Homo-oligomer: A and B are copies of this chain.
Amino acid sequence: MTQGTQGKGATTSTLWDRTRRLATQEILQTALRLFTQQGYDETTIAQIAREAGVSQRTLFRYFGTKEDLIGGSEEQFVTLLTETVRKQPADAGAWEALRAAFKAALSLHTSPEQALERFRLVHHTDSLRAAYLGKRVRCQEQLLPVLEARLAPSGMDRGQARAIVATAFACFDAATATWLEGNGQGDILDLYDQGLAAVRG
């Protein structure tokens, strides 16, 4: 609805878009800084807005909720996951496709340190964790139809496909939890493989 005549231009040159991008980054950085400094619940929207130099009203226009100030948008995440799965070779099974999707998702983080910091924050804050889990199940639901095609040849019904997707995400979560417990030691994907091996063994 915003820019209709943009075609596929690489650098969106309009001043509005640039300012918007800057403000987004500024807000996001400020929020993350304050959250890690004094805790999520102890940080108010008013404070973030003040220190980021925008009004509360504008902040809420950029990010719908306080929880959104943590991670990339859910939409972006869903797109990445579904596209990655879709791009997998036709002969790849559902498990491989899901693994590839997780790998792609993990590569979004700029550094393991930042990932650790973020995971820790989400993991230790009830409201944040709940919000994350909500996004997670919505991702699962979006992924289900994409994977059903890959599972139909094996004679799997919808319910079983759902169980497989849910299991993959569960093992991914378990892997990040274990990774977190070890303060970022090792590779999340390795932990994921080990967990899945224990389950499917």
A interface residues, Cβ below 8 angstroms from B: 126, 129-131, 133-134, 137, 156-167, 169-171, 173-175, 177-178, 181, 191, 194-201
Copies, count: 2
Interface centre among A160, A165, A196, A197 (most CB of B within 10 A): A160
Known pairs A199-B199, A200-B201. 4 more at Cβ < 8 A? Answer: A156-B198, A160-B198, A165-B174, A166-B174
Which residue of the partner chain, among B126, B159, B167, contacts A191 with CB atoms under 8 Å?
B159
Taken together as a complex, chains A and B put the C-alpha atoms of A165 and B38 apart, in Å, by 33
A200 CA to B200 CA in the complex, in Å?
A: 5
Are A163 and B199 neighbours in the complex by a CB distance under 8 Å? yes
* Cα of A156 to Cα of B178 in the assembled complex, Å: 13
User: Do B134 and A162 have beta carbons less than 8 Å apart?
Assistant: no
Residues of the B chain whose Cβ atoms lie less than 8 Å from the Cβ of A171: 163, 166-167
CB distance from A27 to the nearest CB of B (A): 23
- Specify which of B130, B161, B197, B201 is in contact with A130 (CB 8 Å cutoff): B130
A178 closest partner in B (C-beta): B159
Residue of B at shortest CB range from A159? B178
Q: Is the CB–CB distance between A159 and B130 below 8 Å?
A: no
CB neighbours (8 Å) of A134 from chain B are: 126, 129-130, 133
Partner of A158, one of B129, B130, B158, B178: B178
Decide yes or no: A198 and B164 within 8 Å by CB, A158-B178, A169-B170, A175-B159 being known contacts.
yes
> In whole Å, how far is A193's beta carbon from the nearest beta carbon of chain B?
10
CB distance from A143 to the nearest CB of B (A): 13
Given contacts A129-B137, A199-B200, contact A174 B163 (CB under 8 A): yes
- State whether B126 touches A133 (Cβ < 8 A): no
A162 vs B192: C-alpha distance when bound (angstroms)? 11
9 A-B pairs within 8 Å (CB atoms) are namely A129-B137, A133-B137, A137-B173, A159-B178, A160-B194, A161-B198, A163-B175, A163-B194, A163-B196
